[in-house]
Structure 1
Amino acid sequence: MSWYNEAIFYHIYPLGLCGAPKQNEYTTPVHRLNTLLPWINHIKEIGCTALYIGPLFESVGHGYETTDYKKLDSRLGTNEDLTAFVKACHEKGIKVIFDGVFNHTGRDFFAFKDIQKNREHSQYLNWYCNVNFWGNNEYNDGFSYDNWGGYNLLVKLNQRNPEVQNYICDVIRYWVSEFDVDGIRLDAADVLDFDFMRALRRTAEEVKPDFWLMGEVIHGDYSRWVNGETLHSVTNYALHKALYSGHNDHNYFEIAHTVKYLQNMGNLDLYNFVDNHDVERIYTKLSNKAHFNPVHVLLYTLPGVPSIYYGSEFGIEGRKERSSDDSLRPALVLADYADAKETNPCTALVAALGKIRQNTPALSYGSYAELQLTNRQFAFARDLDGVRVVVTVNNDDNDAWMNLPAGNASEYVGTLTGQKVSVEGERINVCVHANSGEIWVPAGDMPEYTPVKVEVKEKAVKESVKEETPAAEETAVAEETTVAEETTVAEKTSATKTEEKETASESTDVNTISTATKETAATEEKVTEASEKSTAKEPVKVDPNKAPEDMTVEELQAAILAKMASNGPVTDQMKKTVDDNIWHDSLVNWLKSFR
């Protein structure tokens, strides 16, 4: 096993957290990265053991239009600052991974500048995809080229060019020798060339033991990317969606079936998260703010590697805007949250879960078994070496009792509340508080924890948060309001949630496994019915004059399939990949990527 198998990540978008200017004037470096040194102690104190930080390197604006892969962005400081920062993290036992933006460069990158100057005679002509001197663009370059997401600011690298592969592999070697980095998060990994990723994997195995490659992948069969030849992990957007909508809809079936769907891909250590620099804050997404508790209990206990995005441990809000992601990437002053562990219930919960996760190996390595499932209550076990850890969550406004199969122990203790329950007939009967969760471990076999009051009271959180934004329920977001009904089992289940609510037990006294079994069977029958109905629905008509940003998810999916069909036969797997993507912004970028 490697360090990343039991890591708990903290995610920082440095240009935002440091309050850097939006545009880089390439002037004298400003040592803003040094202002993040106090955050290292905070990261450790809330139980995180690894840091994903990026983008870091010289760029024009938001950081993903790279100008120089070997120079820290001058808005953040110097290479010496970055070396010292990583060293300070390592001294605290925190691993560090950088953002690797290797799918595209900015227009100020040396190879592209050479093409602008020397045109057809440039030695770097083949470094980019489809450079065409019969075309033009909005910059009036006198040539066109492939880009990422429809943005000519992001010039698509030709990853099949051996010179490009060698250059990027040398960048990785440089990052290890210069900064001692422990891994890389690959931006836009879902559009990276697979042979290129194999070359990156070979380099990773060469530069450092257990060097970790994690890719940004939005949709599809994650096992295509996570395997022994390419990447170690990818971003788990499927679970991200299920965690917030499963609570907003009082539909734990969606979460449970998403876990099953992911397990069918194999034993993958996916990168789990509830928010990041590209999506809305979890506290904004949740209709009931009290669900912050069960959402994070699941984040820390379901299979995968958990991650916290900076500021979300304080319960701050952030809403995605069409023209700007600035509200998702705010500048924060750590001193404003100096006593958050003691006064902010969100921070107290995250810190407690970090401690529990570090001291409970079954949560990192244990097998997964579903124990009980209704719309509003969910229980599962993580089993390792004969030790059973039981996780229970409740999204109802009332307490609920659950009777569950236990492990080989005489007594269990709730690590968040300190409750103790005796094992009777190899089962435990536990109370799960309203809108809450608990992690039950055998008493005596694992460390017991000081109870932490983690009820999320909206008033208390708002008082501790410096930045106030309107309540999430007042804004409709395309990503959250439009859901494909015929894709994975998880989405199918979500589509039948209304029927489930009418038939599922609303009782808060859940005493037998048989009830959950019957409800699961009923749900699966409805899923089948919904699937049969979905095959008969009329094709979606797409207005060719409609801007992608104004299309619905269904219209975007139909438009993408039409583009694919114009290029050749569309296989069932291709259709499934499109159907599996229910994220509006991702589909917009996908559609724009077609020429």
Structure 2
Amino acid sequence: MPDWVTDAIWWQVHPLSFTGAEPAALPPGELRHRLPHLQRWLDHLLALGCNGLALGPVFASGTHGYDTVDHFRVDPRLGDDADLDALLAAAHERGVRVLLDGVFNHVGRDHPAFRAVVEQGRDAPTADWFRLHWPPDWTPGTAPGADVFEGHDLLVELDHSSPAVVDLVTRVMTHWLDRGADGWRLDAAYAVPPSFWARVLPAVRARHPQAYVVGEVIHGDYPRLVAEGGLDAVTQYELWQAVWHGIAERNLFELAWSLQRHAGFLRSFVPWTFVGNHDVTRIASQLPDVRHLPHALAVLFTVGGTPAVWSGDEHAFRGVKEHRAGGDDAVRPPFPADPSGLSPLGAPTFALHRELVGLRRRHRWLHTAAPGQVHVANEQLVYAVAGDGQRLLVALNLADAAVRVPAPGAGAVLAGAATVGRGRDGRGGVELPAHGWAVLTG
């Protein structure tokens, strides 16, 4: 993993929705310069304490960005190459790294490679890019059957055993790293054979050894996928699920179990950690009790991982993901022209993010710190993290009453609220208020 990732904390954005772009591609020849909108938010990112901008798709597509039609062209709804170059330059001037979103599992049906297949049939030079099923009576201008991504007919899957696809993805990744990008998120990496990444990434890393590559993986054997694919990390959906669901259901045994799993993952790689992103219901909407939002954030910023904040979560935006056409709209709203347009109602949540990001920055060893369980009950959890000769304790209480929980070695309260003392047995413990939490020296 590149050295700089140790200190990376990402602010994740879906550019098309963030900038209020049209829901479908513009007519040929039209152009909108919307990427400067994002430049006006770079100082907000820094004020939050982040130093990385993780962009969703910025390449030409038919609709939401994940139906790519040209990997080498900026989507005209966002601007052109000069606009992306300017965003990269403005970010780098501020010390902000930029991650691009690579949609390499599938393409949109309007991609020239697939259009060539429709027009020319088996003789198309790109026919081996796809897994095709030819009807016996095929005629030019008729699309053959093709494997598609998770039932989405508009997303035609690439054939990752094809040398031409290996070459395409290698060229795309290298091209944009050459232009100044700092790394890639590999969309739907769970649907791509790890052997494909093992063929692509050595050539990419030979030219850009400091590029960071994280794969989107939901289920499966995370360490194996990282090792066999040669990735730096994968998305830690197991922990995301346990954080929101364990807190929402007041079942911290679920979270405690996932933290043990997370500690195991940290022995082989450092996962991408999050409590929200562009594909899931916002954390403020996942939790039935708003008083428990700090608990979720305390976990995110105190366990090992490379944390990412989904844009808007730092202001307690709400939005529910729905499994229908347009079901992402509520979690991907357009943003004001600049941060001055944000409601002041989100200021306390922004301040909480800043507090916890600041704590993490003062303890940079947390990047690889594995959590160890100290105490667990349905509504209480205490865990420890250690590194660089230091130790922190994190104590969570979801109950409607104050509680005392074991916390051996607990010292000063660094964030949240707690009273530290010894119980009748002489052992260290902390008292947490109802719905309280705390991070303490240990």
Identify if the C-alpha distance between structure 1 residues 436 and 200 changes in structure 2 by more than 3 Å, giving closer, same or farther: farther
CA displacement at 1:104 relative to structure 2 = 0.8
**Deviations 1:366-395 (Å, cap 9, x if unpaired)?**
343211111111111111132111111111
C-alpha distance in 1 between matches for 2:155 and 2:251 = 39
Unaligned runs of 5+ in 1: 443-595
Instruction: Say if 1:37 and 1:427 are closer, same or farther in 2 by CA, change over 3 A.
Output: farther
CA distance 1:76–1:135, shift in 2 (3 Å) = farther
Aligned to 1:66: 68
Distance in structure 2 (CA, Å) of the matches to 1:146 and 1:359: 49
Contiguous gaps of at least 5 residues in structure 2: none
Report the CA distance between 1:40 and its aligned residue.
Answer: 0.7
SS in 1 for 2:360: helix
- Which secondary structure state, in structure 2, belongs to the residue aligned with residue 35 of structure 1? helix
Paired residue type of 2:243: L
**Could you say which residue in structure 2 is the equivalent of 1:108?**
110
Q: With structure 1 as the length reference, what TM-score do the two structures score?
A: 0.69
CA distance in 2, matches of 1:329, 1:51: 16
Q: Which residue of 1 aligns with 2:286?
A: 285
Give the CA deviation at 1:423. Answer: 9.1
The AA in structure 1 aligned to 2:273 is: N
Offset of 1:259 from its aligned partner? 1.7
Match of 2:206 in 1: 206
Contact 1:381–1:389 under 8 Å retained in 2: yes
CA contact (8 A) 2:380 2:397 kept: yes
Q: In the alignment, which residue of structure 2 is the partner of 1:237?
A: 237
Question: How many residues get paired?
Answer: 434
Q: Give distance in 1, aligned partners of 2:294 and 2:222.
A: 28
Decide which structure has the larger Cα Rg and report it: 1
**Partner SS state of residue 231, structure 1:** coil
User: Taking structure 1 as reference, are residues 136 and 259 closer, same or farther at Cα in structure 2, changes over 3 Å only?
Assistant: farther
Residue by residue over 1:225-269, the C-alpha shift from the partner in whole angstroms, topping out at 9 and shown as x without a partner, is 112752111111111111111111111100010122343454331
The residue that corresponds to 1:246 in the other structure is 246
Indicate conservation of the 8 Å contact 1:129/1:146, yes or no. Answer: yes
AA aligned opposite 1:438: A
**Residue aligning to 2:413:** 414
**Is contact 1:200–1:230 with CA below 8 Å preserved after alignment?**
no
1:29 paired residue among 31, 48, 51: 31
Query: 2:293 is matched by which residue type in structure 1?
Result: F
- Which residue of structure 2 lines up, in the alignment, with residue 540 of structure 1? none
**Contact 1:204–1:212, Cα closer than 8 Å, also in 2:** no
Q: Which amino acid aligns with 1:328?
A: V
Describe the shift of the 1:229–1:217 C-alpha distance in structure 2 as closer, same or farther (beyond 3 A).
Answer: closer
Q: Specify whether residues 136 and 59 from structure 1 end up closer, same or farther in structure 2 by C-alpha distance, changes over 3 A only.
A: farther
Q: How far apart, CA to CA, are the structure 2 residues paired with 1:439 and 1:142?
A: 58
Q: Does 1:361 align with 2:364?
A: yes
In the TM superposition, what whole-angstrom CA distance separates every residue of 1:127-159 from its partner, at most 9, and x where no partner exists?
Answer: 11124244889xx82411111111221111111
Tell me how far apart the structure 1 counterparts of residues 264 and 366 of structure 2 sit (CA, whole Å): 19
SS across alignment from 1:206 = helix
Secondary structure at 2:77's aligned position in 1? coil
- Following the alignment from structure 1 to structure 2, what is the Cα–Cα distance between the partners of residues 389 and 170? 44
Residue 358 of structure 1 deviates from its aligned partner by 1.0
Corresponding residue number in structure 2 for 1:438: 438
2-structure distance, mates of 1:185, 1:305: 13
Query: Displacement of 1:6 after TM fit?
Result: 3.3
| Residues 128-137 or 193-202, more deviating | 128-137
After superposition, give the CA deviation of every residue in 1:432-458 in whole Å (9 maximum; x if it has no partner).
23323221136xxxxxxxxxxxxxxxx
1:48-197 alignment, distance < 5 Å: 48-134=50-136, 141-178=142-179, 180-197=180-197
| Equivalent-residue separation in structure 2 for 1:393 and 1:374 (angstroms) | 10
Q: What whole-Å deviation, never above 9, does each CA across 1:551-595 have from its counterpart, x for those lacking one? A: xxxxxxxxxxxxxxxxxxxxxxxxxxxxxxxxxxxxxxxxxxxxx
Conserved? CA contact 1:136–1:144, under 8 Å: no
Q: CA deviation at 1:346?
A: 1.3
Q: Secondary structure at the match of 1:276?
A: coil
* Residues 218, 235 of structure 2: 8 Å contact kept: yes
CA distance 1:128–1:437, shift in 2 (3 Å): same
2:3 corresponds to which letter in structure 1? S
Residue 336 (structure 1) aligns with: 341
Q: Note if contact 2:417-2:433 (Cα within 8 Å) is conserved in structure 1.
A: no
Point out the more displaced range, 203-212 or 372-381: 203-212
Distance in structure 2 (CA, Å) of the matches to 1:294 and 1:257: 16
Distance 1:405 1:72 in 2: 55
1:316 aligns with 2:322: no
Map Cα deviations across residues 192-227 of structure 1 (whole Å, 9 max, x no partner).
122211123213422323311111111111112112
Secondary structure class of the residue paired with 1:287: coil
Secondary structure of 1:397's aligned partner: coil
Q: Are the structure 2 counterparts of residues 21 and 142 from structure 1 closer, same or farther at C-alpha, using a change threshold of 3 Å?
A: closer
1:337 maps to a residue whose letter is: L
RMSD in angstroms over aligned alpha carbons? 2.4
Aligned equivalents of 1:28 and 1:263: distance in 2? 50
Q: Distance in 2 between matches of 1:209 and 1:392?
A: 39
Question: Which of 374, 378, 382 is the aligned partner of 2:377?
Answer: 374
Cα pair distance change 1:234/1:428, threshold 3 Å: same
Structure 2 counterpart of 1:43: 45
> Normalized per residue, which structure has more strand?
2
Deviations 1:254-295 (A, max 9, x none): 001012234345433111111211111111111111111101
C-alpha deviation, 1:72, in angstroms = 0.8
Distance in 2, matches of 1:417 and 1:277, equals 28
**Alpha-carbon distance change, 267 to 426 in structure 1, aligned in 2, over 3 angstroms:** farther
- State the alpha-carbon separation in 2 of the partners of residues 135 and 311 from structure 1: 52
* TM-score normalised by the chain length of structure 2: 0.92
| Per-residue deviation, residues 2-41 of structure 1 (Å, max 9, x unmatched) | 2223321111001111000001124422111101112111
AA in 2 matched with 1:22: P
Distance 1:405 1:6 in 2: 29
Distance 1:283 1:58 in 2: 32
CA distance in 2, matches of 1:208, 1:416: 39
Matched with 2:392 is 389
Change (3 A) 1:362 1:216: same
Offset, 1:360: 0.8
The percentage of counterpart residues that share the same residue type is: 31
Work out the CA distance in 2 between the residues paired with 1:6 and 1:227. 22
Q: Is the 8 A contact 1:406 1:426 kept in 2?
A: no
**One-letter amino acid of the counterpart of residue 124, structure 1:** T
2 CA distance for matches of 1:426 and 1:268?
39
Q: Deviations over 1:386-429 (max 9, x none)?
A: 2111111111122222331228xxxx322224878579999643
- State the partner residue of 1:297: 298
- Taking the aligned partners of 2:264 and 2:429, their CA distance within structure 1 comes to 31
Q: Is the 8 A contact 1:415 1:440 kept in 2?
A: yes
Q: Equivalent residue for 1:584?
A: none
CA distance in 2, matches of 1:204, 1:338: 43
C-alpha separation between the residues in 2 aligned to 1:370 and 1:401?
Answer: 16
1:513-552 equivalences under 5 Å are none
